[in-house]
Structure 1
Amino acid sequence: MKLNRRTFLVNSGTLAAAAVSGGVATSAKAAPAAGSPKPRKPYEGIGDAPFAAGEPCLQAPAETTMGVAWKVSGLSKGVVEIADNPEMRGARTVKAGGYGLVPIDVSVLQVRLENLKPATTYWYRTVSTPFTDYKNIYDAKLGKPVVGKIHSFTTMGATAHSHFCMMCDTHARWEPFELIVAKLKELRPAAVVWAGDATNTTQEKETAVEIFLDPQVKHRDYAADIPVFFVAGNHDFRGSWISKLDEVVHARHPAERTGAEWDLKWNFAVRLGDVAMIGLDTGEDKPDGHPKWFGLANFSPYRRAQAEWLARAFERPEIASAPHKVVFCHIPLYAAPDHPDYPHDGVKIDPQDYAYWSRECNELWNPLFEKHGVKLVVAGHKHCLRIDPPSKGRSWHQIVGGGPELGRTHKGPDASRFPTVIEGKVENGKLVVTAHDVWKNRVAAKITI
């Protein structure tokens, strides 16, 4: 049975809106009682309110840098203490931001750890200090610091453990996300790639904070010890706030870019043991001229810019020498001519048309894949596990991960629809890729490359 993704997502949003409205007429906000204190604005400090800091999330990992982000409940400043031992002896303190003014925020604190050693384990903890009052720099008061738990991570590098996992299309659905996180905790990979559609439509920052930093699951520390690479999906470009996502999710370190590449926030090419992990952004699933975009889409130039960046990334010594080159993206880069997906590649300007796969990305990037020996492309978007072996003109395997459905779509039961964790590790020189069905807790597929 074939899932209509658009109907699934639109119906989900309609039901959510109906649940909120409930058919009850709304009323104007009541005026404050005479003599009551003026409500405190978020950037004026927390006052007497309790303060809390969430679990840290390791983001944008690299050989010598690591991003840390965490949720806070009110205006605060934050630092990360980092050491090369679990007792935190000799720990150094790293402030948020770069040079000049240290940023403070009412909901998210971000710290970038730099000057790290490749393939090295570090221990760290967050320290968050609230402002109880902040009128201006001369009239502000700090509250009691909140010191987080000690966690650890290992940086990327050629001698790191060649073990990764990929999750995708979680769509802020907490029951399948709980199953995915439990599997990641069990497998303990060196890094995780979140390959898009983490969101649905993001109209405000609080939505992104919940999805990435405060998911409504048991293990909210899902990324406190296992770093996460982020690859955007088409839904991660939707919503009036979403262009500011790097306020919640660390973009790649600026040092990874040349001047011409400054706006490539999410692309990565990082060595993890014998694997070169490469992240590409397929963008939206509609052409730039689609009427639904109101002139806001500029993805074709973005894909071409990524092709130029990719050509340079493949020439870097640590990437060129990797025995296994693996590409991660959201929309699949291939569909067989006899496959039902093949005609639907998002090339027409039509209100109902969207990409089942990206022909444009394939034409731009596949020549580079072939030239530099890419062995595997890991994608999502289709909400159904699929494996495409190499074929004429394409020497790489493609594996497509599942979505958030637990054996049921809007059309009824469908056992082929389940969330997945795609695991890759190098064993005896071979890349072994396992697709875990986290709904039934079974191995759904396994290939060796």
Structure 2
Amino acid sequence: MYFESRHIIKYINFAGNQFNHTMNGNEFSNNRRSFLKGGLTLGGMALLNPQKALAAATEKEEAFRILAGPYLQTNFGNSISILWITNKNAASWVSYGTSADALHQTAFGKSELGLKPAGRINCVTLTNLKPGTTYYYKIASKEIKDFQPYKLTYGAALNGDTEQFVNADPAKDSVSFVMLNDIHDRPQSIPHLLNLDKGNRRDFVFFNGDIFDYQTDEQQIIDHMLQPCDLFARSLPFVYVRGNHETRGKFARDFSAYFHHVGHTAFTLGPARFVILDTGEDKDDTHPVYAGIVDFDVYRLEQARWLEQEMRSNAFKKASFRIVMMHIPPRYSGDAHGAVHCTQVFEPLLNKGKVDLVLSGHTHRYKIHEPDKHGNHYPIIIGGGPRDGSRTITQVTASKKEVRVRMLDDSGKEVGSYLVTKK
């Protein structure tokens, strides 16, 4: 709640009227003088130092609490990141172990220059986990009420419930996941689509961009993604790459702080090597809406150099299958500058690297594009969205011999399928 001096004075007048209705005579006079004295002190503080009055009022009314989470993210490799958001700065940690009754290990957020985190957005990464093992964990945060140079004062402490997850074995025989894309600030679509996959065991959920229309503030991220993801994200991790719409808006530069990772990356799980590219904006860098403060062409070229290095790695070369995930597909998405640049920059490399499958979104029209010897030498599968009737969930399972893809629309009807076999 926001307070200004006029709001506090209005509150004093309202309270004074309430006294008028309930007290008489000397009792009223004495209490009224006492009340006005306190009220004038508060009102004076508000007029002379509104920021201090705001802090005092907020401190008094808002209890320390968790706004969102915990939610899990991972790049696998026997580690997992646990994130949550508090409404005030805090010292935070995670207690964990392989038994719900014995959370004897403790992990903190990453230290920077010897300083542990002491903020609101908490990210604690558990490392050196045992493959295929179930872990139990509990988040904890202790409010920082006052931070003086030589004295830190703690306030209330919060402990989450005991949650659990299975640390995926990177060497497992098969991997299974679902892809959502182009939700566009329709948070009800997340549980709706995931419920179509209910009962299936997955290793992760992949968000392939444009979960939002543009980035406005923290509350949008909480309400339109993190809260809907509470359906699964306490026990099943998600992987997330930006779409072009996540690059837009006044909060776009703060957006990445709420996730362990939203850019380009690569990881191995089971027989597949996953390569994720951040395709950036589809508008030209010189478009007036950006007023000269973006540089996505250079960003895509940097990723192309990174992709070349990734293609030379043993992990890429030895994988049974190489699956690329990118929001803007490397072809079949129109003639906007970003789409054309993606084709120019990424398609030759993807052909050279002999990738087996590309998963994308962006066009809002679900479609399976067969390999084309004159263009993409690999299948490109594009998810739909965001309107009713065109929303999709894409189910992917990879073994050492094949990759099976099945796409469902929002009624649960299969609208596409594809099979990639080992060459």
| TM-score bin, normalised by smaller chain | 0.7 to 0.9
Could you tell me which of 196, 220, 225 is aligned with 2:230?
Answer: 220
Counterpart of 1:330 in structure 2 is 327
| Deviation digits for residues 224-255 of structure 1 (CA, Å, limit 9, x no counterpart) | 2221111110110011121122221113xxxx
Structure 1 residue ranges without an equivalent (≥5)? 1-27, 252-264, 336-340, 348-354, 408-416
Q: Is 2:418 the counterpart of 1:442?
A: no
Partner SS, residue 96 of structure 2: strand
Aligned counterpart, 1:230: 240
3-state SS of 2:356 partner? strand
| CA apart distance, 1:223 | 1.4
CA contact (8 A) 2:360 2:381 kept: yes
The alpha carbon displacement at 1:119 in A equals 5.1
Q: Determine which structure has the larger helix proportion and give its number.
A: 2
Alignment match, 1:12: none
In structure 2, runs of 5+ residues without a counterpart are 10-39, 46-51
Indicate whether 1:365 and 2:341 are aligned: no
In the TM superposition, 1:149-160 aligns within 5 A as: 149-155=162-168, 157-159=170-172
Give the structure 2 partner of residue 300 of structure 1.
297
1:431 maps to a residue whose letter is V
Q: Structure 2 length normalisation: TM-score?
A: 0.81
For the aligned residue pairs, the C-alpha RMSD in angstroms reads 2.6
Q: 1:74-101, CA deviations, whole angstroms, 9 ceiling, x for partnerless residues?
A: 3322211222x23253631111222522
Alpha-carbon contact 1:56-1:221 (below 8 Å) kept: no
Shift in Å at residue 47 of structure 1? Answer: 5.0
Letter in 2 for 1:194: F
CA distance in 2, matches of 1:433, 1:159: 19
Question: 1:35 is matched with which residue?
Answer: 41
Q: 394, 398, 403: which one pairs with 2:380? A: 398
- Give 2:250's match in structure 1, choosing from 222, 236, 240: 240
Structure exhibiting the larger radius of gyration computed from Cα positions:
2
The correspondence for 1:271, drawn from 268, 275, 279, is 268
Q: Match of 1:68, as an amino acid?
A: I
1:55 lines up with 2:69 in the alignment = yes
User: C-alpha separation between the residues in 2 aligned to 1:75 and 1:58?
Assistant: 21
SS in 1 for 2:6: coil
Contact 2:81–2:124 (CA<8 Å) still a contact in 1? yes
Corresponding position of 2:155? 142
1:25-424 alignment to 2 at 5 Å? Answer: 30-33=6-9, 34-36=40-42, 39=53, 41=55, 46-47=59-60, 49-53=62-66, 54-83=68-97, 85-89=98-102, 91-99=104-112, 100-106=114-120, 108-118=121-131, 120-131=133-144, 133-136=145-148, 138-155=151-168, 157-159=170-172, 161-183=174-196, 185-215=198-228, 220-251=230-261, 266-335=263-332, 344-347=334-337, 358-393=339-374, 394-407=376-389, 417=390, 419-424=391-396
Find 1:425's aligned residue among 394, 397, 408. 397
Amino acid at match of 2:419: T
C-alpha change, 1:87 and 1:313, in structure 2 (3 Å) is: same
**Normalising by structure 1, what TM-score?**
0.77
SS in 1 for 2:286: coil
- The ranges of structure 1 where at least 4 consecutive aligned residues each deviate by more than 6 angstroms after the TM superposition are none
1:201, distance to aligned residue in structure 2 (A): 1.8
Does structure 2 conserve the Cα–Cα contact (< 8 Å) formed by 1:45 and 1:75? no
Query: 2:315 is aligned with what amino acid?
Result: E
CA drift at 1:444: 2.0
Q: Secondary structure at the match of 1:145?
A: strand
Calculate percent identity across the aligned residue pairs: 25
What secondary structure is seen at the aligned counterpart in 2 of 1:312?
A: helix
- Aligned-partner Cα distance in 2 for 1:242–1:29: 32
| Bigger relative contact order (CA 8 A; separation at least 6) | 1
Code of the residue aligned with 1:381 in structure 2: it is H
User: Does structure 2 conserve the Cα–Cα contact (< 8 Å) formed by 1:45 and 1:74?
Assistant: no
Q: Is the 8 A contact 2:72 2:236 kept in 1?
A: yes
Distance 2:69 2:256 in 1: 18
> Across the two proteins, how many residue pairs are aligned to each other?
375
